[in-house]
Structure 1
Amino acid sequence: MHIFVGTLQTDDEFLMRFLRARKLCVKDALEVYENYYRFLHRNRELCFGLKIDDAEIKQALEDGLPGVIQRRDSRGRRIMVLFAAQWDPSRYSISAIHKALYLSLNLLLQDCVVRERGLILVIDWSQFSFQQCSKLQPAALREIAEGLEYCYPVRFKSIHCVAQPWYIEAAVSLLKPFLRGTSRGKIFSHGNNLSSLHQILSREILPAELGGEQGPYQSSLWIDNLIRASHDTPDRNQSID
């Protein structure tokens, strides 16, 4: 989980992250690799020194911003969740969520299955208020979207929005022009129709908040993984619980 300041990381496992993220296209992978280091240089406060014991990062993770559920989908892919309404801007900024996101992705990308098959992202907008939405700075949202799209070696196979209000639909529509065409086609809006989500992701693997059978989401399970990783030197090809 270490990124080396001032040094390009060139070991095979690290470079394969970029190749996998662009389906083994060397030209596209090299572009992401170059963008990655430019992003690190531009956002040092976001990318360096990320620690699970940082109070704001841990609070975001405890709120499921983000979370990672225990069960994989039918293709063995990991599922990341964001419970948007849990965000209280008075306790921590959107930057803390951004940091928690990268901390989680750094660990997930140590899983060879994640590198090969990508991730599923589900954003639950239930009870997300207009007041909360007003605290989402467009520049910060664009930074997150562009960073994940063009600068980070991760492949989101699909992104699912649930119970999104009209003002979130509007925000998403403003972000879409900054995404690649293939990525825009991977965003699905389910509204309050959870049955359409369950046609893609089985209820057997989902937490209760998403109409699933696994009971309420337990953030402590993913946080425990991050704590263990902060103390260990994990196998680069390990499967993360």
Structure 2
Amino acid sequence: MNEYAEYDWRLQQMQNERLCDVSRKRLTDGDRQRALDGLKEAVDSSLNLALRDKSRCQDDNFLRRFLYARKHDVQQSFELLVRYHQYRREHPELWAVADGGVLRALADGLPGVLSQRDRRGRCVLLMFASNWTPHACPLLSVYRALLLTLERTLNEVQNQANGYVIIVEWTEFTFKQSCSLQAKVLKLMIDCLQDCMPVRFKSIHFIGQPWYVETALAVIKPYLKAKTRERIVLHGNNLSTLHDALPLDILPAELGGEGPSYNSERWLKEFCQYENIDPSPVPTIKTTAPQDNELPAAKLDKAYIHKDNQNFSFHSNEKGAKSELLRDKD
């Protein structure tokens, strides 16, 4: 037993010491320092209004986020830094102190953070979509919970260099829940996560996704970059393909892993400790998740046209979305 514990400890040490990022293998310490100095110089000489407040840019660890995200290309890192600050200036409410909605999202595993990394040293985030209760926790709160989680975990250089893996568990996510996906918030998420956040998403795994989630993805795909589209993997109910990508020993029981059931309380407490807030006010809301058969087939087409124009409407894109969905399945 001690041998196994020693092996696990050594494996963790190897992951802590070895950054699996390709750019790290190709760059020397001197190269990385020159890139950091170049980025600092670009910030100091910039007159861009987005960088009017340069106080945070004095933190080397903060600047390294952008260098790792762009493989230490100084010009691209600087452009990403500008977009990040511009986005924060335009949407300061997203980075406000975590409120009840954010804590509710974290308590429901939206998102969650696995305690162990994968074999490549990547941080694994979980999203349990069926836990989402739109009336108690708006999509904007889920988005804020994800942003603040990324901000917190990006303090670790391993996450800056090795990136993230995201697993979205869609099993039992209902059509009624999907009607609460707000297009405005989804656009905010895509704009930020693709172009403004210093984050490297190495792969995104969908588990147990129903047809209406695949249709929504088909509508969204044109707005995603080619690299992002290539990294989205649809597993359906086939957990074995997920297990080919990620080791069983780090996955919770809900995903067919060897670990115990995921406990969202661990990350919630860690997050609240970092933010210096009390997690106890998280409201407990008991809801009965609607079953799919509560929406008869005759009502599905009507549900495509939602009265609230802020909500997802597939009506204008229905033909193209379904065609793309069929092509993806071929």
Answer yes or no: same fold by TM over 0.5.
yes
1:23 aligned partner: 71
2:221 aligned partner: 176
The number of equivalent residue pairs is 226
Stretch moving more, 153-162 or 176-185: 176-185
1:237 aligned partner: none
Q: Which residue identity lines up with residue 186 of structure 1 in the other structure?
A: R
Stretch moving more, 180-189 or 147-156: 180-189
Q: Which residue identity lines up with residue 40 of structure 1 in the other structure?
A: R
1:7 to 2:53 alignment: yes
C-alpha displacement of 1:180: 2.0
1:162 aligned partner: 207
Q: CA–CA distance in 1 between the matches of 2:199 and 2:63?
A: 12
1:33 aligned partner: 81
3-state secondary structure, aligned to 1:157 = strand
C-alpha displacement of 1:133: 0.3
3-state secondary structure, aligned to 1:71 = coil
2:109 aligned partner: 64
Q: TM-score, normalised by structure 2?
A: 0.66
3-state secondary structure, aligned to 1:50 = coil
C-alpha displacement of 1:6: 5.7
Q: CA–CA distance in 1 between the matches of 2:219 and 2:192?
A: 16
Q: CA RMSD in A?
A: 1.7
Gaps of 5+ in 2: 1-50, 278-330
Deviations along 1:169-216, one digit per CA (max 9) or x if unpaired, are 121122222222222111111011000000001121111111111111
Q: TM-score, normalised by structure 1?
A: 0.89
1:94-113 aligned at under 5 Å gives the runs: 94-113=139-158
Deviations along 1:72-130, one digit per CA (max 9) or x if unpaired, are 10112110010001000111100110111111111100111001100100000010011
3-state secondary structure, aligned to 1:104 = helix
1:208-219 aligned at under 5 Å gives the runs: 208-219=253-264
1:227 aligned partner: 272
Contact 1:50–1:99 under 8 Å retained in 2:
no
3-state secondary structure, aligned to 2:126 = strand
Contact 2:84–2:197 under 8 Å retained in 1:
yes
Q: Greater relative contact order (Cα 8 A, min sep 6): structure 1 or 2?
A: 1
Aligned with 2:165 (options 120, 129, 132): 120
Contact 1:146–1:178 under 8 Å retained in 2:
no
Stretch moving more, 167-176 or 97-106: 167-176
Larger Rg: 2
Contact 1:146–1:179 under 8 Å retained in 2:
no
Gaps of 5+ in 1: 233-241
1:45 aligned partner: 93
3-state secondary structure, aligned to 1:10 = helix
Q: Which residue identity lines up with residue 18 of structure 1 in the other structure?
A: F
Q: CA–CA distance in 2 between the matches of 1:91 and 1:23?
A: 40
Q: CA–CA distance in 1 between the matches of 2:91 and 2:193?
A: 13
Contact 1:76–1:113 under 8 Å retained in 2:
yes
1:136 to 2:181 alignment: yes
Q: CA–CA distance in 2 between the matches of 1:159 and 1:208?
A: 19
